[in-house]
Amino acid sequence: MAEMINEIFRLSPISGMLLTIGCYWVGMVFYGKTNWTFFQPVITASVIIIAFLYYAEIPYDVYYEQNVILNQTLPLTAVALAVPLYRSLDILKRHALPILAGIAAGTLATMGVLLAVCRLMGTDERILITMLPKSATNPIAVEIAGIVGGIPSLTASLVVITGIVGGVCGPELLRLMRVKNEVAKGIAIGTISHAIGTARAFKESEVQGSMSGLAIALAGVLTALLTPAFILLLL
């Protein structure tokens, strides 16, 4: 059975793309019905895809190549970040300094701690370069990794993992720390856990979601500017 599925899968050059879209749709339906944080569509889709590829003995390289359209489209989606930035323009004007300071502090802290810990652990330099942009949203992080000599596919995986952890634990951690300001919560979640965290932030409140979307855009720009500087420190 597995061999037959393998052969059928390889017949079409877009089988991987259809699998990705189909599994994500299943994840969205499941999440919509359960509304459980641990069943984010990205998590559900990833588990189904991994299980399918393992069962049918399909190499990841084959699956990746069949997702070429999605892979090439992903960087273009970065322009969508202009939408939350525009919608939140009034709030940004009123609270520009604390918002920008919060995003800058979060981005610098994330990259600085990562650099320090990896240096102490003796992490390979290319792996470290790959990890540096992990808190930016995927389209930006993948492009940064490719430009500075990292491993884009690994960066994409780390971005998803970071987003899942932030989306699942972020709001609860902020409540535990008694952070009550909605703008501050949104900025914290968006700066660290990008799109997946933002989806969770919108579940919390409209303000948190819009601020998180704003943080995605600004943190992505800041990460792109800071990564070369951190690499110079690394080298």
Global pTM reads: 0.73
DSSP assignments along 142-196, one per residue: HHHHHHHT--HHHHHHHHHHHHHHHHHHHHHHHHHTT---HHHHHHHHHHHHHHH
Identify the pLDDT of residue 232: 81
Alpha-carbon distance 25 to 28, whole Å? 5
How does pLDDT run across 218-231, given as a tens digit for each residue? Answer: 888 888 888 888 88
Per-residue pLDDT at 81 exceeds 70? no
- pLDDT tens profile 143-172: 888 888 888 888 888 888 888 888 778 888
Q: Which residue has the tokens 């110079």?
A: 232
> Residue 210: pLDDT above 70?
yes
Assign 78 a pLDDT band (cuts: 50, 70, 90): low
How many angstroms separate the CA atoms of 101 and 80, rounded? 23
Query: Where exactly are the structural domains of the chain?
Result: 2-66, 79-234
Average pLDDT value for the chain: 82
